[in-house]
Structure 1
Amino acid sequence: MSGRDQSDDRDTAIRFLVEAALKSVADKRRFRSPQTKDDWIDRLCEEIMSASETSHQAVLSSLIATGVTSDEVLGDYVPAVARRIGELWVQDKATFVQVTIGAARLQALFQNRTDLPRGTWLDRTVPLGQSILMILPAVEDHTLGAFVAADQFRRHGLWVRMAIRLSNAELLRVVEEGRFSMLGISMATYKSVENVQEIIKNLKSSLDRCPPIVVGGKYVADSDGVEVLTGADLAVRSAREAIEGCGLASVAKSLTVDSLA
């Protein structure tokens, strides 16, 4: 055997040992119970992007077993995981496939609540004769924020209807046929601004009585003067702020809320 062959064999053996050591560390971390909220968010983020179809559900079950409520999971942990996934994507630490899988599973928690451990969900929607329309502009790719916001409003006892990527004509027809107390528009990025301007202008010029139009989301949370820029009546950073600003009733007396994206 030549010296080069021996060197190649040695490099292969070293690489194998390193990979085995890293796998061992990862396995120990996976089986170690998270100790802090950030630990739980990291674990849930890891499992919700994994190839396993059920590992994230096991993490959710373990989290709820510690005393965390399903309300807190959906209103606090899920948005935090969504932000963490976005950070990993920006930092090039997560692949497109992982991000897609993670986002789909997070959204499924709102669309199909059976993904939460059975028996942990309480129906929080208490009808108060008020309903809102949550609008997701056609140019927005991020739908999770709109579902998070809708869930927050439901916790306050409001009926919520979703309008996702409708044309101006379709949206106008929905608003005309509904009896909405508020129209909420989710803005995750700057690219929504022009589209939202058009939506709001069309609604206000076409309706005899236009409900208050509220914009919220990550872009709103990071910017000032968005209501002036878009023509909205209010720019808010939380569901509670939107409800209070529009003078709506709420069944929630003390509730932590997240922004509209």
Structure 2
Amino acid sequence: MIDGDLRGFAHHAIHLMTKTTYANTNLPKHRLDLMCQAFIDVHDDPRRLVIMRLRQNGVSVEDIVDIIIPAIARSLGQRWADDEISFAEVSIGSARLQETVRALGSPTRAGHLGIGASIPDKPQADPAPRTGDEAEKRVLLIIPRSEHHSLGAFVCADQLRRMDYAVDIAVDQHLRDITNTVRQRRYAMIGITAAGRRALASARDLVQCIRINTVRATPIVLGGSILESRSDLRKLTGVDHVASDMASALALCGLESNGRNALLEVDANE
């Protein structure tokens, strides 16, 4: 990718910060294609060069994570739908985007589970007692076992951590383990991501299990591209709220945000 293309992409991405959400933004296709190609290249250098050039051109880490990586992910998905790239390529690109989010991600207020770590089979006790304020600033994001789209959850986790929330992520965990963790910790919000209808049954089971086996009523929010359907998702899953971006999810739960939105689901291979 030449510097002129990268600089133009960066400036256009910054302009999009004035919008409330990024689902319908239209970054130049030829520039997005170049970025996508870097993330599916057989070599590591192209994508590392892309990130380096973006940073050199003044694009912040936050803008890369919140805007550019989701845009690349959606472009990968569209290119796959248009038969321009293979499923293997879009899967590789999506994994590398998630790896990039984790590499760039903020370490602020990371829980001991941390971004990218699953809840262990035997959840550990908290390393030290937390004050009431600290308990109110912890969020659990759940990627159900039937859900294979995870990039959006990692983007949102990084954004939450920049807003001084501690974030735990449960990836492919059994209901029992998730419930035990919710019982042991005080969460201000629980988020569940779902990209397709096959994840709705898992989401419903999660909500029921958490409600039955925990005393504290923690608000549960459903997000993901499943929200594009016309279904009554609250009725189907039992969640308290549905939200298409993190700022909306926090607001629905009465929690603070800084107004920047990240889609709750931005994965490529939808």
Indicate the SS of the match to 2:146: coil
Deviation per CA, 1:83-136, whole angstroms, max 9, x where unpaired? 1111111121112332122111101012233xxxxxxx7655599621010000
Q: What is the TM-score of this pair, normalised by structure 2?
A: 0.76
Counterpart of 1:67 in structure 2 is 58
Does 1:226 pair with 2:239? no
Instruction: Give 1:221 deviation, angstroms.
Output: 4.4
Q: What is the TM-score of this pair, normalised by structure 1?
A: 0.78
**Would the aligned equivalents of 1:49 and 1:102 in 2 still touch at CA under 8 Å?**
yes
Deviation per CA, 1:165-196, whole angstroms, max 9, x where unpaired? 11111111111111111110011112111111
Counterpart of 2:101 in structure 1 is 110
**Would the aligned equivalents of 1:132 and 1:159 in 2 still touch at CA under 8 Å?**
yes
Instruction: Give 1:227 deviation, angstroms.
Output: 1.5
Q: Which runs of 5+ in 2 are unaligned?
A: 13-26, 112-132, 266-270
Indicate the SS of the match to 2:88: helix
From the two aligned structures, give the one with the greater helix fraction: 1
Give the total of aligned pairs: 222
Counterpart of 2:48 in structure 1 is 57
Amino acid at match of 2:81: V
Q: Considering only aligned residues, what root-mean-square deviation do their CA atoms show, in Å?
A: 2.1
Distance 1:243 1:159, change over 3 A: same
**Identical columns (%):** 27
Counterpart of 1:259 in structure 2 is 263
Distance 1:102 1:227, change over 3 A: same
Aligned pairs for 1:123-134 (under 5 A) are: 125=109, 129=134, 130-134=137-141
Amino acid at match of 2:100: L
Instruction: Give 1:144 deviation, angstroms.
Output: 0.9
Amino acid at match of 2:261: V
Counterpart of 1:245 in structure 2 is 252
Of structures 1 and 2, the one scoring higher in RCO (CA 8 A, sep 6+) is 2
Q: Which runs of 5+ in 1 are unaligned?
A: 1-29, 114-120
**Would the aligned equivalents of 2:109 and 2:167 in 1 still touch at CA under 8 Å?**
no
The structure that has the greater radius of gyration is 1
Indicate the SS of the match to 1:249: coil
Instruction: Give 1:198 deviation, angstroms.
Output: 1.0
Stretch moving more, 73-82 or 52-61: 52-61
Instruction: Give 1:67 deviation, angstroms.
Output: 2.0
Distance 1:180 1:82, change over 3 A: same
Instruction: Give 1:66 deviation, angstroms.
Output: 2.1
Does 1:181 pair with 2:181? no
Counterpart of 1:13 in structure 2 is none
**Would the aligned equivalents of 2:143 and 2:170 in 1 still touch at CA under 8 Å?**
yes
